[in-house]
A and B are shown apart, each in its own frame.
Chain A
Amino acid sequence: MQEVTEKKEFTPTIVAFCCNWCSYAGADLAGSSRLTYPANVKIIRVPCSCRVNPMFVLKAFQQGADGVILCGCHPGDCHYVTGNYYTRRRMALLYSFLNYMGIEKERTRLEWVSAAEGARFSAVMNDFVKQVAELGENKRLTDLRVKEGE
């Protein structure tokens, strides 16, 4: 019983990579529409979802993220025409591979969020935070030395 309570209290650290043209604007819209998403989602703005090197995702986990989500324009809507198509292949392979290494698949996600989808942005983030919170702390991909002393 006690364990269950502890899990509920756990606030995960979430890193969200958001493309400048759609998803970041979507986050903006969510804000100006007074829609909420958890404060533990740390947004990193990138020029295009395609900018996200798989190493960024790993580095985020290494430095203590419990979940990583990538947001970009819907396929076909990329500001740079094709960037997100490459992202899609890259992340499909990376996520599948991380799971192959034994990393819980619920810790990684990719969502397409347009600038007009403030509500969707908020919903996606709330859902992802909930999903990761249920999993608990990320221990499999964190460099435990980072948390040394805590």
Chain B
Amino acid sequence: MKDVELKMLERAKALLQSGEVARVIGWKKGEFCYDPAPASFESVEEMENGFVYNWFCGANLSKYLIQMAKKEGKTAVFLKPCDTYSFNQLVKEHRINRENVYVIAVECLAKLDVEKMKAKGVSFITDVEVVDKDVKVTTAYGVETLYKPDVVLSKCAVCTKTHQVKDEEIILHERPEREVNRFEEVEKLEAMTEDERFAFWREQLSKCIRCNACRNVCPACSCVKCVFDNPASGIAAKANDDKFEEQLFHIIRAFHVSGRCTDCGECSRVCPQNIPLHLLNRKFIKDIDTLYGEYQAGEESEGKTPLTTYTEGDTEPNDVFNGEAK
């Protein structure tokens, strides 16, 4: 990954130096090796002092472009495969002006989830190295090796995405092809009884602390003012009440992004209580695929979404349960 980082740094510096772009959006070193933060860099010095690209750069940078692309001059951004879908979707919704952005597609061989690593018992991590499927973790207490598929972000576990948009690319290692079924967890839930499903979601959603991180990080949640921030809506965005409010919030949010959600998985990545929020959005994606034909939001930057079009022979809502459609 170090070679990729150096190449990225070199390109970004060249772009800034030539004046081709006014700023570069990437990741900045944190306090540890595992906590890089999204940041914009406006000079070569800033880049040299803080830029980083490593196994923990899971954050999707596309949403920052809503603001950044409005600034004077062109903005360069590093996008991983999954991030390009969000970017495209935002361009489609006229939230980002494509002409103001220079997209550098960067490779991603799945990102790691430090919480999952800590749950495996490693703490006081000082360095992480990845060789194939081995994650070598150096800690203050010694060196441990973890199995990579066990500790990748949930969004990376089933990813087969490829770059949908790029002005140039930095790909030094090809990701091996693989077969995954991203609907496996959804299917498991579907196979349960209503009561079991209700119990599952009740338990999960009762953990919700209404921090709104899922909404604020979501590239599809790009409303200037969210309905839940409207004091007149009668729904308190922050009242945590496990009797109902969480359910309403999550159902509405999932519906609002249906047909537009690219399955980037940021919602689950940021949730402080680790609620598997992506399973909500993925249900919509699965239903859309089965009822209206396969559709991947963010594959193109124009056209209609499944919910803004129709056919005369669409399935009746009462029939979605009868298995006729599926």
Contacts and interface: CB of A to CB of B under 8 A. Distances in A.
A7 interface: no
A103 B202 CA distance: 11
B15 interface: no
Contact of A89 (B199, B314, B318, B321): B314
Interface stretch (A20-28, A31-39, A113-121, A140-148): A140-148
Contact of B307 (A75, A89, A104): A89
A90 B292 CA distance: 12
A114 to B, nearest CB: 16
Interface in B279-324: 280, 283-284, 287-288, 291-292, 306-308, 310-312, 314-318, 320-321
A10 interface: no
B195 interface: yes
B291 A102 contact: no
Contacts of A140: 198
A75 B312 CA distance: 7
A92 B244 contact: no
Most A C-beta atoms less than 10 A away, residue of B189, B198, B306: B198
Contacts of B199: 102
A109 B194 contact: no
A58 B252 contact: yes
Contacts of A93: 255, 258, 284, 287-288, 291, 307
Contact of A97 (B227, B248, B283, B310): B283
A88 B251 contact: no
Interface string B240-260: 010111011001101100100
B129 interface: no
Contacts of B245: 143
Interface residues of B, number: 43
Interface of B is mostly: helix
B190 interface: yes
A101 B317 contact: no
Given A54-B255, A97-B254, A98-B251, A92 B314 contact: yes
B147 interface: no
Contacts of B320: 92, 95-96
Given A55-B227, A97-B254, A89 B310 contact: yes
A104 B314 contact: no
A54 B321 contact: no
Contacts of B161: none
Contacts of A97: 251, 254-255, 280, 283-284, 287
A88 B314 contact: yes
B316 A92 contact: yes
Given A101-B197, A101-B201, A88 B316 contact: yes
B254 A141 contact: no
Given A92-B317, A102-B200, 20 more contacts: A54-B252, A54-B255, A58-B252, A62-B248, A85-B312, A88-B314, A89-B306, A89-B307, A94-B317, A95-B321, A97-B251, A97-B283, A100-B190, A105-B194, A109-B318, A110-B318, A111-B318, A141-B244, A141-B247, A143-B244
21 contacts: A54-B252, A55-B252, A86-B308, A88-B315, A89-B310, A92-B315, A92-B317, A93-B287, A93-B291, A94-B317, A95-B320, A97-B284, A98-B251, A101-B197, A101-B198, A102-B196, A105-B194, A110-B316, A110-B317, A143-B248, A144-B244
Interface of B: 189-190, 194-202, 227, 241, 243-245, 247-248, 251-252, 254-255, 258, 280, 283-284, 287-288, 291-292, 306-308, 310-312, 314-318, 320-321
Closest 5 CB pairs of A and B: A102-B198, A85-B310, A143-B244, A102-B197, A91-B317
